[in-house]
Amino acid sequence: MPELPEMPETAHAAETAEMHDALETQETAEMPPSLAPTTGLGVLHLFCRAPGGVDVPAVLEAETAARKAGAQVVAASILGHKADVALMVLGPDLWQLRRFQSGVAAAGLEPISSYVSLTEVSEYAAGLPDELKQSRLYPQLPPEGKPAFCFYPMSKRRGSAPESHNWYVLDYADRLELMVKHGRIGRQFHGRVLQLVTGSVGLDDFEWGVTLFAVHPDDLKECVYQMRFDRASALYADFGPFYTGMVADLETVLASAPR
């Protein structure tokens, strides 16, 4: 059989370049454009079961990819039956949060609950210094020295009966007065508890997600207890399920889960 003539070197180069362009086009087509809030970050809380066979290196790889893309990842080992692992990921691109979710699920972590929200500056905090506003929109987590973790969603009550309380029929001035008093109680725990309230109106089942980091677990308990006596909570707040645990690096958290 006669040998086929060798392809000229220039043809090799052209073919290689064509293949490279085709791969680039394919990758671009598979990668959707970013979707980001106009200000602040997207926030995704994943509460997962860790059945046997979790691919730990693959989970760590998903974390590394998220961090390289500009996201923050907070891991917590959860106490009780609701979940084994909590993963809180914050980033400017919602598609990146989705890729992280897909990555950890493919590695064997099973999300059994989740919460979607955005960082925000409350309408009642207009007078805050810019530095504090930025810390709410672009927090750096987890805070050092606060390993106790708690998350819960909440909404303001919208009762319809005459004797019920409806936050949304109050005048702004009345709501502002209540929230200023509410904030004073929270500031009593400065240095012991860091609170991040993220907005989820129109995004999830409740209106806000509240993530707390504390020095000791009883700091969490005392803070939430004291704030429930405030009128803004006592009359107008409804709470969802609480998830409590300990913040650690992801490898340590995964090691604490069932194997």
State phi, psi for 80 to the nearest 5 degrees.
95, -175
DSSP character for 24?
H
Closest CA to 91 of 41, 32, 34, 137: 41
CA 255 to chain centre: 22
User: Which of 152, 168, 172, 243 is the catalytic position?
Assistant: 152
Closest CA to 125 of 166, 182, 200, 42: 182
Active site residue 124: no
Torsion region of 38: left, alpha or beta (phi above 0 gives left; psi -120 to 50 gives alpha): alpha
- Judge residue 159's burial from the number of C-beta atoms within 10 Å of its C-beta, 0-12 exposed, 13-18 middle, 19 or more buried: middle
User: What is the Cα–Cα distance from 199 to 195, expressed in whole angstroms?
Assistant: 13
Q: Which residues does the annotation mark as catalytic?
A: 152
